[in-house]
Amino acid sequence: MSICRLLILLLALVAVMPLPATELKTTSAGIEISAGSLGSFVLTFPEFRDASSNVIHKQTQAKATGNTATVDYEGGAQCAVLLGQDEITLTFTQVPADVTSWKVSTLIDIGFAKGGSWKIDEMESPFPAEKPAAPHIASLSATKFAVKNAQGQSLTVITPDYAFQQLTDNREWNWPIFQWQCIVPFSADKATAKLKVTTNLAASAKLVDAFGQSIKDTFPNKLLNETDLQSDVAADEAYYASLKPPVFDRFGGLPGSIEKLGLQKTGFFHVEKHGSKTWLVDPDGNAFFHLGICGFAPSDDYTYIKGRESIYEWLPSPQSEYATAFRPGDDNAHFSFYLANTIRKFGTPYDLDTHSSRMISRVRKWGFNSIGAFSPKPPTACEKASFPYVAHLPINEWEGVPRIPGAHEVWDPFDTATSGKIAENLARELPKHASDPLLIGYFIVNEPRYDELARVIPSLPGKHACKQQFINSLKLKYGTINAYNLAWKSESPSFESLVDAGLAVTTAAARADVQSFVLQFLDLTFSQVHDLFRKHDSNHLLLGARLQPITIQDELICTTMAPYLDVMSYNYYTYGVDTAALRRIHEITGKPMILSEFFWSSPRDSGLIGGRAVSSQRERGLAYRNYLDQSASLGFVIGIEWFTLIDQATTGRWFSKYNGESYNTGLFSVADRPWKDMLEEMMKANYGIYDLLLGQRQPFKWDDPQFKVEKPSP
C-alpha cells in the first residue's frame, strides 16, 4: 500500500472514530462533568422547590461513590443518582407533597466570554464579553442547553420535558462567572428523570500567540515581536531610573519615627498601640506600613498545556533553552509564557533569586516594601536588599493536613492524626526562621470557610472525629435520646444511629446546639495553632486566616479566633471601601487588620477577562489609591497586599487545569511590561503613605459612582 493511500485510510478512520466520551463522577458537591480541554463542570444535586419557588426540604447528606450517589433531604426524601454512558438518572423516593419542582445548576467559567457561545434550544448567542445591562441572559422553557468555547468545542445537556432554563451573568453581583440552572416539574408518577450529557471536542483553533497573549485581542501593552521585547531592556532602565520614591529606612519604614512616635526597637516586626492608632513597627523601631505584593514568585502565570497544545502558536521543548519556564516536578504539564519572555529578554534561564532581586529593585521604585502571600522566600535576595516578607504555616493539604469535605480549607482539630501532623510540621519548619528579622509573620491558611461548618458538620459521616465529638456533645447535653428527639423534632432510635446519619437542623434548639459546637471546634483549632506556633517562634506575628467577606461578617467566628491572633487578615475585594464595616470588625476583635488580598482588572485593554473590572489601567490605579487611603486612614489597618505581581496566564492558572482564572491581576503583563498608567496612580498613594498616617494629608477618595460604599458581597 502506498504512503498516500495509507494516509487517506487513516484520515477516514479518524473521521468515523467516536469522539471522546464525557466523564461523569459523583462527588459530595454534585456530579462532576469532565469535558477534556473544554473544562470541568459540577452539576449540583437536585434541590426541592414549592409552588412559590421557595427552597424546601434541604439536603442533609450526600454519599457519593464513583458512578452512584444517595442524597438525603429533610423530611425523609431521597434521590438516588446513577451515572451511565453520557447519562444521569435521578430517582426520587418519599418526596413530600409540597414539592412541585426540583432544580439543578452548574457554573460556567468566565473564560467562555472570550469567543464562546451558548445555545438553549434554537436560541443561540455569544457569551457577553462585558457585564450586560441585565444579568439574566436567557430565561425560557427548553430541553436542550449547550456551551461552546472559542476553539469550537462544545458540551450539550438534554433535560427532561417541560424544563425551564435560565442562564445568568453573575458579574452583576461582582462574581465573574456564568450560571445555568434548570427547573423541572415534579410529580409522584414521574419519580425518575434523565439528563443526557455529551461533548464534541474535535474542533481546534489557534488562540494564543508565541508570547502567551490572546491572538484576537489588541491592547496598548501588547508585544508584537521579539525585537521589541529585547528593546524593552534599555527602555526599562530609563523608566526605573526616572522614578524618585521618598527616602525610607532600610526595611521601607519611616526614618526617625522611633523617636517621633515613641516606638520600641525589638529587632523584629511587631505591633504597638498608641492612643487610638495601631502601628506596625519594623525591626529598627520605625513605623512600617506593609505594602505587600502577593505571588512574588512565578505562580499564576503558569498554565496547564497538556491536551490543548494545538491552541498555542508556539510551545518549546522542555529540553530547550526554555526548560526553566516549565513548572518543576509536574511532568512538563505547566508552562509560563511570562518566564519564556524573560528568558528571551535577558538571555538567561529563570532562577528564583535573580527574578526576586530584579523584582525587589523594580517594586521599591513604585513604593512597595514587602513580599506578600503565596511567595516562597528567595534564597538570598531578601537579605541582600533588606526586603521584608510574610510566610504561611506549613499546614496545607499537600503538606499532610487533610481537609473536611464541604468546608473549604478547614481541617478537623479533633482528629489526633491531623493535629499530630500539624505539630510535626511546625516543629520541623518554624525554628528555621524564628530569628529572621525580615519575616513579618505567618498566615495560618487562605480563605477557610468556617461559616460552612454549621451546615457541614451535621452532614458528615461518622468516620470524621468532629462528627463523633458532636454526637458526644449532644448525648452529654440531652442524656436520653427521647430528650434529643423532642428538641430536634427527630425520631432517631439512639445516639449511636446519629453518628453516620445526616442530621436535619430545623429547630431553634438544633441550631443552637450546632452553633455551640462550631465555636468549640474553632476555639480548639486556633488554640492548637497558637500554642504550637508560640512553642517554636516567639518573635513573629500570627497574621490570621485571610478570611473572605462572608466569613468575617460572622461576629462569633471573629470573636472566637481573635484572642489567639496578633492580626486579623481579610481578603477584602470591593469597589468602595466600607469603613464602617471595617471598624465593626476591629471593635469586636480588638485586633489590627491587614487587608490581605484585592485587585482590579481591566479586560478592555489587557487581552484578559474576568475579575473585579474597571474601564482602564488608570482606573485600576485610582481604585488602588482609594482603597489604600480610605483603609489606612482608619488607624488600625496596618498593611495591604495587592494580588498579584504578574498577570494570570491567558489560558488560566495552572492548578485549575482548563478552568483557571485568567485575570489582569498583575503589575506586569505576560510580556514583562509594567502597566504604567496604573502604577502612576499607585505611586501617589505609596509615596505618601506615612504622610497620611501622620495626618499630614487627607485620604484620597475617588468619586466615581461605581466606587460608592457598598456592603461586602459573599
Q: pLDDT for 129-150, tens place per residue?
A: 999 999 999 999 999 999 999 9
Residues 469 and 604 in one domain: no
**Contact status, residue 357 vs residue 385, Cβ threshold 8 Å:** yes
- At 190, is the pLDDT very low, low, confident or very high (cuts 50, 70, 90)? confident
Number of other CB atoms surrounding residue 707 within 10 Å: 20
Q: 235-260: per-residue pLDDT in tens?
A: 999 999 999 999 999 999 999 999 99
DSSP 80-149: EEEEETTEEEEEEES--TT--EEEEEEEEEGGGGTT-EEEETTEEEEPPSS--SSSEEEEEE-SEEEEE-
Residues 463 and 374 in one domain: no
Q: Which of 166, 200, 234 corresponds to the end of one domain?
A: 200
Closest C-alpha to 103, from 175, 54, 155: 54
Question: Is 425 inside any structural domain?
Answer: no
The arithmetic mean of pLDDT across residues 361-372, rounded, is 98
Distance CA 35, CA 108 (A): 12
Q: 638-650: per-residue pLDDT in tens?
A: 999 999 999 999 9
Question: Is 415 inside any structural domain?
Answer: no
At 711, give phi and psi (nearest 5°). Answer: -75, 130
Residues 489 and 576 in one domain: no
Length of the chain in terms of residues written: 714
Residues 464 and 604 in one domain: no
Q: 406-451: per-residue pLDDT in tens?
A: 999 999 999 999 999 999 999 999 999 999 999 999 999 999 999 9
By the 10 Å C-beta count (0-12 exposed, 13-18 middle, 19+ buried), 695 is classed as exposed
Question: C-alpha angle 107/109/110, rounded to 5°?
Answer: 120
Residues 103 and 180 in one domain: yes
Distance CA 392, CA 297 (A): 14
Distance CA 23, CA 658 (A): 15
Distance CA 373, CA 379 (A): 17
Strand partners, 705: none
Distance CA 585, CA 592 (A): 9
**Contact status, residue 179 vs residue 107, Cβ threshold 8 Å:** yes
Half-sphere exposure at residue 164, Cβ-oriented, CA atoms within 13 angstroms: 8
Residue 440 DSSP symbol: E
Which residue is it, cell 464541604?
Answer: 406
**Residue 316 pLDDT > 60:** yes
Q: 1-47: per-residue pLDDT in tens?
A: 444 443 333 333 333 333 445 799 999 999 999 999 999 999 999 99
Distance CA 276, CA 253 (A): 20
At 429, give phi and psi (nearest 5°). Answer: -100, -35
Question: Is 533 inside any structural domain?
Answer: no
Residues 380 and 507 in one domain: no
- At 160, is the pLDDT very low, low, confident or very high (cuts 50, 70, 90)? very high
Average pLDDT along the chain: 95
Q: What are the counts of helices (DSSP H) followed by strands (DSSP E) for the chain?
A: 17, 29
Distance CA 470, CA 521 (A): 9
Distances (CA, A) of 294 to 351, 371, 667, 701: 18, 7, 11, 24
Reduced to 3 states (helix: H, G, I; strand: E, B; else coil), residue 337 is: helix
Distance CA 59, CA 455 (A): 10
Residues 506 and 577 in one domain: no
Closest C-alpha to 111, from 62, 60, 190, 41: 41
Distance CA 530, CA 80 (A): 44
Domain range holding 500? 452-511
Distance CA 359, CA 668 (A): 10
Q: 507-520: per-residue pLDDT in tens?
A: 999 999 999 999 99
Give the DSSP H/E element, type plus range, for residue 235. Answer: helix 226-241
Task: Pinpoint the alpha helices (H) of 266-322.
Answer: none
**Contact status, residue 182 vs residue 161, Cβ threshold 8 Å:** no
Residues 183 and 99 in one domain: yes
Q: 657-686: per-residue pLDDT in tens?
A: 999 999 999 999 999 999 999 999 999 999
The arithmetic mean of pLDDT across residues 464-471, rounded, is 98
Residues 459 and 379 in one domain: no
Question: Is 465 inside any structural domain?
Answer: yes
- What pLDDT was estimated at residue 251? 98
Q: Which of 460, 494, 511 corresponds to the end of one domain?
A: 511
**First CA to last CA distance, the chain:** 65
**Residue 192 pLDDT > 60:** yes
Question: Is 165 inside any structural domain?
Answer: yes
Question: Is 392 inside any structural domain?
Answer: no
**Residue 704 pLDDT > 70:** yes
- What pLDDT was estimated at residue 714? 42
- What pLDDT was estimated at residue 710? 60
DSSP 577-639: --HHHHHHHHHHH---EEEEEE--B-GGGTS---SSB-SSHHHHHHHHHHHHHHHHTTSSEEE
Q: Which of 511, 526, 554 corresponds to the end of one domain?
A: 511
Residues 353 and 495 in one domain: no
Residues 371 and 465 in one domain: no
- What pLDDT was estimated at residue 709? 84
Distance CA 289, CA 281 (A): 8
Residues 162 and 308 in one domain: no
Which residue is it, cell 484620597?
Answer: 700
- What pLDDT was estimated at residue 8? 36
Tabulate helix, strand, coil % of the chain (nearest 5). Answer: 35, 25, 45
Question: Is 538 inside any structural domain?
Answer: no
* Count of domains for the chain: 3
Strand partners, 389: 371, 439
Question: Is 489 inside any structural domain?
Answer: yes
Strand partners, 541: 441
Reduced to 3 states (helix: H, G, I; strand: E, B; else coil), residue 428 is: helix
Residue 287 DSSP symbol: B
Reduced to 3 states (helix: H, G, I; strand: E, B; else coil), residue 245 is: coil
Distances (CA, A) of 664 to 344, 600, 648: 22, 8, 6
Give the DSSP H/E element, type plus range, for residue 545. Answer: none
